[in-house]
Amino acid sequence: MVRPSGTFGDPPGPHWCPLVRAQFPLGPPSLSPQITPRSSIDPRSPLFPPNPPARPDSFSPPGVPRQGRGQDGRNGILWGLGGLLAFCALTVALWQLPELAALRERGRSLRGQLRVLEAEESDLEQRFYLGALQLPNRTHPAVPVGDQSQARLLEVVGEKPEFDFKPKGHLELGEGLDIIRQRRLSHVSGHRSYYLSGAGALLQHALVTFTLRKLLSKGFLPMTVPDLLRGAVFEGCGVQPSANPSPVYNIDPARFEDLCLAGTSEVGIAGYFMDHAVQLQDLPVRVVCSSTCYRAETDTGREPWGLYRVHQFTKVEMFGVTAAERGTESEELLEEFLGLQKEIFSELGLHYRILDMPTEELGLPAYRKFDIEAWMPGRGKFGEISSASNCTDYQSRRLNIMYSREGGQLRHAHTVNGTACAVPRLLIALLESNQLPDGRVRVPPVLQPLVGREVLARPPAPLLRYIGPNQPGGGPSRTGGPP
């Protein structure tokens, strides 16, 4: 997809938003009364006289005594009844006139034409809206042009781990330590699911706690967000729940209308700021959120086993809202987020590299995106563990995220996001990089106080013994004997 390149400036109008559905002025000033049947019942229509005579009030409200009792009162009532009967007779006579019948037929025809036009308008509006959803953000002039192969290497950090033995993969290590379970789960939770237990669960909690403490010490605002969100919030963030295939889990619309499971807390945090303004002096706002993320991974042929591509995982996300006074605030915040990511991954002892991602890898909302890839010895290659994106005003225009300048003038804010800790990917890098020849794994020093040990070792005996139907070399074992 071609992405326009350049700098930013607000288009005309303080609240312009390219994805707001078009609202056309279809009232009487823009349509002739001859082509809209609504004008036939609109008192402001030219079909009605400009100054209709006032209708005499012949009857008093119930319970209110009329003025002038006796013969005068009875005469008034009779006069009123006579007027009503005359009005009814005149209405019946007019209804039978050929001219009125022709007008009624004309009205029915116009109503039919209007229904067709309204259907066409609705279809065009929907097509316009879906087309507008496909429009990407502008691109930073320094971004490489092309696909993944054109990514620009910015920096390599840390020492690559060396082994005098063949390193194992994280799944083999995790199963040997009895901390990861991914086998025999198809009837429990489906493909690409997993359990972390014992030290594996402690490692997840330690990673999240370590990351949260780090970011809270930097002044981040902690937040929890809903996992279920409206489709409009996803669309405003540049994610399309209705795409086919879609990375988003949609809840059954027959029971819960327009609700989707979030694949990142970025969507929920953006929804928090939706239709709200922040004071200029309070910017930038830095938010950190730990949440469960749900991804409908559609490319099932890649990484079918292990934790690299899973449907559900825990992630700590950074999200920033900043001003656009100088035009460089969001770029500065992106560099700040990148620096925090480097600090976290360096303290974990990882060997990683930073890439400036090319145009075809930016996604719709990103103006610029940096990926961080850690060396994973068991896989024998680098694997993405984090990214940081500057979305400028792409999301704020769609979600109406504003900031208030001096004098109360509103302007669209810029948004920045970055992954601080994606637990499964970090577990892969940590387990594979810190393994020992006997299958044990060293715990990074910064995590040892939280995990409670320096080395992960296999427990004396496994907690579970499989007794299900898929026994190796035979049928089910239902009697409790050896499998």
Looking at 309, 379, 405, 458, which residue is catalytic? 309
Structure tokens that stand for 2 in this block: 């071609």
Handedness of CA 30, 32, 37, 43 (dihedral sign): positive
Distance CA 172, CA 378 (A): 9
Closest CA to 331 of 416, 227, 204: 416
Considering the candidates 387, 389, 396, 433, report the single residue annotated as catalytic.
387
**Catalytic annotation, pick one of 368, 386, 425, 433:** 425
Q: For the chain, give me the number of helices (H) and strands (E)? A: 10, 18
Could you tell me if 362 and 140 are in contact, meaning their C-beta atoms sit under 8 angstroms apart? Answer: no
In 3D space, the residue among 337, 308, 303 whose CA is nearest the CA of residue 320 turns out to be 337
- DSSP letter for each residue of 293-358: EE-----TTSS-SSSSS-SEEEEEEEEEEE--SSS-HHHHHHHHHHHHHHHHHHHTT--EEEEE--
Give the integer Cα–Cα distance in Å for 423 and 205. Answer: 9
Burial class (CB in 10 A: 0-12, 13-18, 19+), 375: buried
387 catalytic? Reply is: yes
Cβ contacts of 40 within 8 Å, gap of 6 or more? 47, 107
Sheet hosting strand 312-322, strand order edge to edge: 152-157, 352-356, 368-376, 381-392, 414-422, 312-322, 285-294, 221-222
Distance CA 190, CA 250 (A): 17
Q: Is 384 a catalytic residue?
A: yes
309 is catalytic: yes
Annotated active-site residue in 181, 192, 286, 295: 295
Which run of H or of E encompasses 228?
Answer: strand 228-229
Q: Which residues are catalytic?
A: 295, 309, 384, 387, 425
